[in-house]
Structure 1
Amino acid sequence: MQNTSNLHLPATEKNLWGWINGFIGVVIFSASLPATRVAVQAFDPVFLTFARASIAGVLALCILALLNAKRPGRSQLLSLLIVAIGVVVGFPLLTALALQHVSSAHSIIFLGLLPLCTAAFGVLRAGEHPRPTFWLFSVLGSALVIAFALSQGLTANPKGDVLMLLAVLICGLGYAEGAKLSKTLGGWQVISWALALSLPLMGALAWLSAPASFAGIRPSAWFSLAYISLFSMLIGFFFWYRGLAQGGIAAVSQLQLLQPFFGLALAATFLHETVTLGMFGITGAVVVCVVAAKKFAM
């Protein structure tokens, strides 16, 4: 099945749908960390990572079969492996481990660096040469996040901060590689094939790491597992990659800058976590740096 998201639409309408689909994807992703925070209170983070990937992988395999999706070529397998390492295993596992040490509100601050990491890896993969101003704002944004993490040293666990930084780096790589591959394979096919190819290993590891009993696990934990499996791992990427294809990667990817704000609001609303003005201030400053870095990227 070919990717038809860009076909038979006027340029203006296609661009509008790109922003709409991208926005929906960002909203879906914004609930990932709060939902993971709830889930890790009941499930081991290692099992949680393998379980969510397995559930999403089974659904992705069914979708690929039903839609008779185009199979990836041999030359595309390495890119799919990078996507799988970045967004199927790496980011979910590292964030689940981090959320054992820090609140979801604290961890969401680090998502302000995700667009920058995606852009940086996109630059490396595409061989582009950004202006020096790009790197200036890149370093400034990173410094703001590190300064915030250090300022929370008395109340936050440094281990959680390190894990979140690693999670953002590996996720940025997975996003950039997926965006590059989607130009030839198709947007929704990229995440579906990455999940499907990971399924045998993820399923086996989920089985081996499963707890002896699931008794006593609250409904909120099961709901959170379902959300991060169905939406964060699969459905969100359908909207996200379609938006990138319709509206352009450089333009639509800036919608990621809204993710920390949505995430903080969700954490405060549903988890009753403390969200300070300082968190919003740092997030806003990071957003400004990322917007400026994007502007001077080319």
Structure 2
Amino acid sequence: MRPRDIGLAVAVMAIWGFNFVMIDVGLDHFPPLLFNALRFTLAAFPAVLFAGRPQVPWRWIVAVGLILGVSKFSLLFAGMAAGMPAGLSSLVLQSQAVFTMVFAVLLLRERPRPVQIAGLLVAVAGVGLVATRMGAAFGAFLLIVGAAACWGLSNIATRKASPPDTLRFMIWVSAVASIPLIGLTLLVDGASADLAALRSFDLPALGSLVYVALISTLAGFAVWGRLMQTYGASTVAPFSMLVPFFGLASAAVFLGERIHAVDIAGGVLVIGGILLGLVKNPVPRLVRVEA
């Protein structure tokens, strides 16, 4: 990769890591479902009016919209609102790589290599280690694990869709997600709670919405999609392991969250296991035999 593109990849990871801090800020102002509905509505409109027609079949846009937008982010926001720390959420969410492999085996009939299975077990051990210190927040921890599972399933749907333009794809996914999310927040949170939250709308609330909707979702995925198309998934995907680093560090700096030794050990296992699964079998060298 060119140095400029390496810098872009790291910048996107920093944006996505800091995103958890901004989610925490937003959840101080909005109920989780309302915050998620506002986030995807802002990401979709008015951009969808200028994005042009989708370049992939509608079934994949609807599938990713419901699995990623509605399910994954609603569980993530609910888990954080229930007490899961922002930095630790960024780490546990990386277990999506484990779920992606499991769903690839079940739904795509892929056959994992032994090193991938070993990496999966190491990553699962890391998530289990983090779970040991959750205590009263164990329910919130399970919500984040559920979000990771939904992310893994949406990765399979996105792989099947193979969108040529990631930005346009995410705009339409956001539009699809916004409609059921508006209905869900009215049904679950109630119109009175939603109106009360909107009446208290202030500058931090606006900043969190703009960040998670426009900077993290649209700008982040636009750059990420271009890098994936230019260099391929095997080259770019390992950069995502930087997200927990930026997530934990920014949560410690801006939210005052403590980083425990168990968190570090669990993070090493999770990230190490995922990276282990990315190791490819060595290609045998051809040896020339002289006659």
What range describes the TM-score normalised by the shorter chain of this pair? Answer: 0.7 to 0.9
Question: What is the TM-score normalised by the length of structure 2?
Answer: 0.83
Residue in structure 1 matched with residue 154 of structure 2 by the alignment? 174
Q: Deviation at 1:128?
A: 2.7
Match status 1:71 vs 2:54 = yes
Relative distance call for 1:242 and 1:21 in structure 2 (3 A) is: farther
Letter in 2 for 1:79: W
Q: Could you tell me how far apart the structure 1 residues matched to 2:129 and 2:262 are?
A: 12
Relative distance call for 1:34 and 1:274 in structure 2 (3 A) is: same
Q: Could you tell me how far apart the structure 2 residues matched to 1:257 and 1:78 are?
A: 30
Q: Deviation at 1:70?
A: 4.5
Relative distance call for 1:250 and 1:119 in structure 2 (3 A) is: farther
Q: Deviation at 1:229?
A: 1.6
Residue in structure 1 matched with residue 141 of structure 2 by the alignment? 161
Q: 1:234 aligns with which of 210, 213, 218?
A: 218
RMSD: 2.7
Match status 1:96 vs 2:77 = yes
Q: Deviation at 1:206?
A: 5.9
Deviations along 1:162-205, one digit per CA (max 9) or x if unpaired, are 1000001111222342244235x432222122123344444555
Q: Deviation at 1:280?
A: 2.3
- Aligned length, in residue pairs: 276
Relative distance call for 1:176 and 1:29 in structure 2 (3 A) is: farther
Residue in structure 2 matched with residue 133 of structure 1 by the alignment? 115
Relative distance call for 1:169 and 1:292 in structure 2 (3 A) is: same
Unaligned runs of 5+ residues in structure 1 are 1-11
Residue in structure 2 matched with residue 189 of structure 1 by the alignment? 168
Question: Would the aligned equivalents of 1:42 and 1:221 in 2 still touch at CA under 8 Å?
Answer: yes
Question: Would the aligned equivalents of 1:45 and 1:96 in 2 still touch at CA under 8 Å?
Answer: yes
Q: Secondary structure in 2 aligned to 1:157? A: helix
Q: 1:86 aligns with which of 67, 70, 85?
A: 67
Q: Secondary structure in 2 aligned to 1:212? A: helix
Match status 1:254 vs 2:238 = yes
Question: Would the aligned equivalents of 1:179 and 1:187 in 2 still touch at CA under 8 Å?
Answer: no
Letter in 1 for 2:150: I
Q: Secondary structure in 1 aligned to 2:132? A: helix
Q: Could you tell me how far apart the structure 2 residues matched to 1:289 and 1:77 are?
A: 35
Q: Deviation at 1:82?
A: 2.2
Deviation larger for 221-230 or 124-133: 124-133
Letter in 1 for 2:68: V
Question: Would the aligned equivalents of 1:134 and 1:296 in 2 still touch at CA under 8 Å?
Answer: no
Alignment of structure 1 residues 277-292 onto 2, 5 Å: 277-292=261-276
Question: Would the aligned equivalents of 1:79 and 1:178 in 2 still touch at CA under 8 Å?
Answer: yes
Q: Secondary structure in 1 aligned to 2:278? A: helix
Question: What is the TM-score normalised by the length of structure 1?
Answer: 0.81
Letter in 2 for 1:152: M
Match status 1:115 vs 2:102 = no
- Percent identity between the two aligned chains: 22
Relative distance call for 1:199 and 1:46 in structure 2 (3 A) is: closer
Question: Would the aligned equivalents of 1:18 and 1:245 in 2 still touch at CA under 8 Å?
Answer: no
Q: Could you tell me how far apart the structure 1 residues matched to 2:152 and 2:7 are?
A: 22
Letter in 1 for 2:15: I
Relative distance call for 1:201 and 1:112 in structure 2 (3 A) is: closer
Which structure would you say has the larger Rg? 2
Q: Could you tell me how far apart the structure 1 residues matched to 2:228 and 2:102 are?
A: 17
Q: 1:245 aligns with which of 229, 232, 240?
A: 229
